[in-house]
Amino acid sequence: MTAGDDIPSELDPLLRQALAWVIRLHSGSATSDDAAALALWRQRSAEHEAAFRDAVRLWRSFGEATRKLASESELVNVERRRPRDVRDRLSRRALIGGAMAAASVAGGYMVVRPPMGLWPSFEELSADYRTAKGERRNIALSDNVSLTLNTQTSIAVRSEQGTPRIELISGETAVQAGRDTSAPLVIDAAGGRVTAHRASFNVKCLDRAVSVSCIEGGVEVEWKGQHIALSEGQQISYSAETGLGRASQADIEQANAWRRGLLVVRDWPVGRLVEEINRYRPGRIVVMDEQLGRRMISGTFHLDHLDDFIAQAQGLFGATARTLPGGIVLLS
């Protein structure tokens, strides 16, 4: 029996429409118009949003086999239902800054990682929980597992038979686990895995590079068959480019600062600081001068007042700032 044989043949019409959207987004020919039209479709009602999430779960479980559930006519109907003004609505959002965003889009088609992070990827859109820029959110996954999601964080819930398990698609989460059973909490991230029974720890996954900081208790990190146990106050990172690193001393104050609405910086290049600020601040700051990007800076910044950095860059380094629509600032 194939995976497709396990899928029910009779589906609610709304779910068929949702499947058509999922298939289109995975077709390789989806445009930025489609992304905007899907957002509007999902906002029509709670039932539309629920159908989309169900369609995503079917796709994750059965992949290409779900195509037979959405007829060609359904795909055509989805195409026809797109509002005429969708292009204008998304253009103002996605192409702010003109050539900068356009240079990252080939032929008008959506890419796996959208240009400048101006709209979420498909994986982020299909998450069970997702925070917007500058948003933090608390989630009780079970009686003994809770999460705090940082800005622009997306997770998918994979729990089975009472065993809590999530996938950190992108972003950062602080985790509190108090598992007394034999089954640990499992967090999958970028091909690796973090497991814990009783621990407080942070997991960050940005551009498929993962870092784990153990605040209290102990966690185990697995990557490509390698296992490393972290104790309180230790951290480690891994990625496809660097592999699994070595455990080192964690900067606990820095790791926890975002939960208090702060960004703690110790001798960072300006370019790195700007990348971090862009995770929280609406719009985007772009460093146009490579020399400015290499200048070092330290300080504590309030996440609710990150535009203060622009004035500091002007005062400390003599930088000039050009403001464009949509919160884009060019620093040189």
How far is Cα 22 from Cα 124, in angstroms, rounded to an integer? Answer: 13
- Total structural domains in the chain? 3
pLDDT exceeds cutoff 50 at 76: no
Q: Please tell me the pTM assigned to this model.
A: 0.66
Residues 73 and 182 in one domain: no
What is the token pair recorded at 197? Answer: 């029974």
- Binned at pLDDT 50, 70 and 90, residue 318 comes out as very high
Residues 228 and 156 in one domain: yes
- Binned at pLDDT 50, 70 and 90, residue 68 comes out as low
Residues 225 and 133 in one domain: yes
pLDDT exceeds cutoff 90 at 313: yes
Lowest mean pLDDT, pick from 2-6, 155-159, 242-246, 293-297: 2-6
Greatest CA span in the chain, whole angstroms?
A: 68
What mean pLDDT is predicted for residues 29-42?
76
- Binned at pLDDT 50, 70 and 90, residue 108 comes out as very low
pLDDT exceeds cutoff 50 at 99: no
pLDDT exceeds cutoff 80 at 100: no
pLDDT of residue 37: 82
Number of Cβ within a 10 Å radius of residue 144: 16
pLDDT exceeds cutoff 80 at 52: yes
Percent of the chain's residues with pLDDT above 70: 74
pLDDT of residue 132: 86
* Residue-wise pLDDT tens digits, 151-188: 999 998 887 776 788 999 999 999 999 988 778 999 99
pLDDT of residue 324: 82
The mean predicted confidence, pLDDT, of the chain is: 79
Residues 187 and 94 in one domain: no
Final residue before a domain boundary, out of 252, 271, 303: 252
pLDDT exceeds cutoff 80 at 105: no
* Residue-wise pLDDT tens digits, 206-264: 989 999 999 999 999 999 999 999 999 999 999 999 999 999 999 999 999 999 999 99
Q: Which domain holds residue 26?
A: 3-125
pLDDT exceeds cutoff 50 at 196: yes
Final residue before a domain boundary, out of 65, 99, 125: 125
pLDDT of residue 118: 45
pLDDT exceeds cutoff 70 at 272: yes
Specify the higher pLDDT residue, 31 or 73. 31
How far is Cα 32 from Cα 90, in angstroms, rounded to an integer? Answer: 7
Residues 182 and 238 in one domain: yes
Could you tell me the CATH number of the domain that includes residue 196? 2.60.120.1440
What mean pLDDT is predicted for residues 19-38?
74
Residues 205 and 165 in one domain: yes
Final residue before a domain boundary, out of 220, 252, 284: 252
Could you tell me the CATH number of the domain that includes residue 313? 3.55.50.30
Give the E-state strand segments of the chain in sequence order: 129-130, 137-142, 145-149, 154-157, 165-178, 185-189, 192-196, 198-206, 209-223, 226-231, 234-239, 243-244, 248-249, 262-269, 284-287, 296-302, 321-324, 328-331
Residues 135 and 242 in one domain: yes
Residues 229 and 157 in one domain: yes
Residues 19 and 109 in one domain: yes
258 Rama sector, left if φ>0, alpha if ψ -120 to 50, beta otherwise: alpha
pLDDT of residue 70: 56
pLDDT of residue 56: 79
pLDDT of residue 69: 56
Residues 295 and 194 in one domain: no
Residues 111 and 190 in one domain: no
DSSP per residue over 287-330, as a string?
E--HHHHH-EEEEEEEGGGTTHHHHHHHHHH---EEEEGGGEEE
pLDDT exceeds cutoff 50 at 103: no
* Residue-wise pLDDT tens digits, 121-155: 555 566 788 888 899 999 998 888 999 999 999 99
Residues 156 and 190 in one domain: yes
How far is Cα 68 from Cα 9, in angstroms, rounded to an integer? Answer: 9
